[in-house]
Structure 1
Amino acid sequence: MARVPYVEQEDLDPEYRELIISSLQPGKRANVYSAVGNNQEVLDGLRTFLGSLWTHSGLTDRQREIVILTAASEIANDYEWHQHVIIGTDAGLSENEIAAIGRDDRADFDDDERALVAYSRAVVCGRVNDSVHEAAVDHFGEETAVGAAATAAGYLALGRVIDALGVDLEGDDEFVGWDLENRE
């Protein structure tokens, strides 16, 4: 149960009302944004920051979802995992690949994606060393390595906010689960 109320659009100043609506599901209020909406200026800054990671990280959609799912997995954030399993499949990840991220099984990924998972996990855990960073730069270049680090750290931060506020899945959504390979 959420620790703060979920604000509705009419609770917000007009310039902030659209910020609680999912950019991927037009018309659908996202609980995470509705919870953060209790502080409208923070919601605005958060959406701007996440939007910049989404569009300017240098990562492909698939790579971005690998980073986000890795972060969600590392911190065991159900809400973030659930949202990005759906988004990740739309970005070209199979359920088997997503499940492998959850298990930290990199065998079926190519060298670039293995380096990306390793870098993302290291960022989230605060364990980036020179060799992990250099591998990310070798595979993606400095600009995209910075984007990957910021994306992993940004979604780590978002996951911690979700935990702190006790954000629930939307409406009648049922958690997809951590073990996608054995779902019925």
Structure 2
Amino acid sequence: MHVYEPRLHPVAEKDIPEKALEALRPYRNGEGDIYAIWGTLAAHPDALRRFLVFGNHVLAKNTLPTRWRELVILRVAWLAQAEYEWLQHVAIARRVGVTDDEIRSLGRPGPAGFAAAERALLTAADQLVTGAGLDDDAWKPLREHLTTEQLIDLVYTVGQYQTVAMAINVFRIQPEPDIAVLREELALPAPATS
């Protein structure tokens, strides 16, 4: 994978306004450093604080089971070819029990090896990312497996992580060293070719 020079660099912690720093308190790695994505978006501290409110719902208050949420996020990351997002969520997905074979499958067209509800979620993620909508064939199995709140959270999850993927790709945000090592094990698969 080609590593590009970042277009925007993370803001130094000493230069982040106090309100934004407070909002970023839970968004630090094991070393206590602010994650590069959030440090980069801290260049617009007011927008960052507001964005984190919604992001906190999607990541921490979501009605989708954590496993389902992570499958969807990884699928969005693959579709968008957002390496930073992919690597961060490979680590999270592993912690919630998603296997490496399942993760690899998410980086292929028509991922295999998932239960009916998960296949429905992944089909929906594909359609939401590529067409900003769902056809009736995608909607019906979702309605069978998800509550109304979960359906809404599915759309929010795809939208949130598609937005994050755009920021990653546009600003060329690079993964932290502790996450970059995952390139050797579970690198972002290349996009599907037609």
TM-score calculated relative to the size of structure 1: 0.89
Q: Which runs of 5+ in 2 are unaligned?
A: 190-194
Q: Does 1:125 align with 2:130?
A: yes
Once residues 124 and 171 of structure 1 are traced to their aligned partners in structure 2, the CA distance between those partners, rounded to angstroms, is 29
Quote the offset at 1:130 in angstroms. 2.3
The aligned runs of 1:30-45 (5 Å cut-off) are 30-45=35-50
TM-score calculated relative to the size of structure 2: 0.85
In structure 2, do the counterparts of structure 1 residues 162 and 22 end up closer, same or farther at CA, with 3 Å as the change threshold? farther
Q: Which of 140, 143, 153 is the equivalent residue of 2:159?
A: 153
After superposition, what is the alpha-carbon deviation per residue over 1:137-171, rounded to whole angstroms, capped at 9, x for unaligned? 21112210110111011101110011111111114
| Alignment match, 1:164 | 170
| Alignment match, 2:10 | 6
After superposition, what is the alpha-carbon deviation per residue over 1:80-113, rounded to whole angstroms, capped at 9, x for unaligned? 1011111110111000000001113433111111
After superposition, what is the alpha-carbon deviation per residue over 1:95-138, rounded to whole angstroms, capped at 9, x for unaligned? 00000011134331111111111111111112511221232121
Identity %: 24
The aligned runs of 1:20-169 (5 Å cut-off) are 20=24, 23=27, 25-26=29-30, 27-126=32-131, 127-169=133-175
Once residues 72 and 136 of structure 1 are traced to their aligned partners in structure 2, the CA distance between those partners, rounded to angstroms, is 21
**1:104 alignment partner, SS class:** coil
Q: Which runs of 5+ in 1 are unaligned?
A: 180-184
In structure 2, do the counterparts of structure 1 residues 93 and 112 end up closer, same or farther at CA, with 3 Å as the change threshold? same
Q: Are the aligned partners of 1:19 and 1:33 in contact in 2 as well (CA < 8 Å)?
A: no
Letter in 2 for 1:80: E
CA RMSD of aligned residues (A): 1.8
**1:51 alignment partner, SS class:** helix
* Worse-superposed segment, 170-179 or 142-151: 170-179
List 4+ stretches of structure 1 deviating above 2 A. Answer: 18-26, 104-107, 171-176
